[in-house]
Amino acid sequence: MRFKQDFFEQLDGFYSQVYPQGISNPHWLGWSDDAAKLIGLDKPNDALLMQLSANAAAPGASYYAQVYSGHQFGGYTPRLGDGRSIILGEAIGL
């Protein structure tokens, strides 16, 4: 899989660089050959599983989380993040 980093490269201040914590004992729950083909993947394999579970670095990925601002607990907070996801980058289709 190849990544581009438009968000990371063009929107300084709208993200925080993060480093994911790996998942112990990861395993595949499902797989779509059609969806995988759209982003240049062939078949599920152990190396990909390790990358997607943060147990190995994905080549070309820049790990970051989106941040936003808003009112929280009665006051304005210029930098919020809820920790729901870590972005690897935008997959480049074939």
Residue 73 has pLDDT above 60, yes or no: yes
What is the predicted pLDDT for the residue at 83?
67
Domain-by-domain residue ranges, the chain? 3-91
CB 58 within 8 A of CB 79: no
pLDDT tens by residue, 13-72: 777 788 888 999 999 999 999 998 888 888 999 999 998 898 998 887 778 887 777 887
| CB proximity list for 53: less than 8 A, separation 6 or greater | 22, 23, 26
Q: What is the mean pLDDT of residues 76-82?
A: 77
What is the predicted pLDDT for the residue at 7?
67
What is the predicted pLDDT for the residue at 44?
94
Torsion of CA 1, 52, 86, 22, to 10 degrees: -150
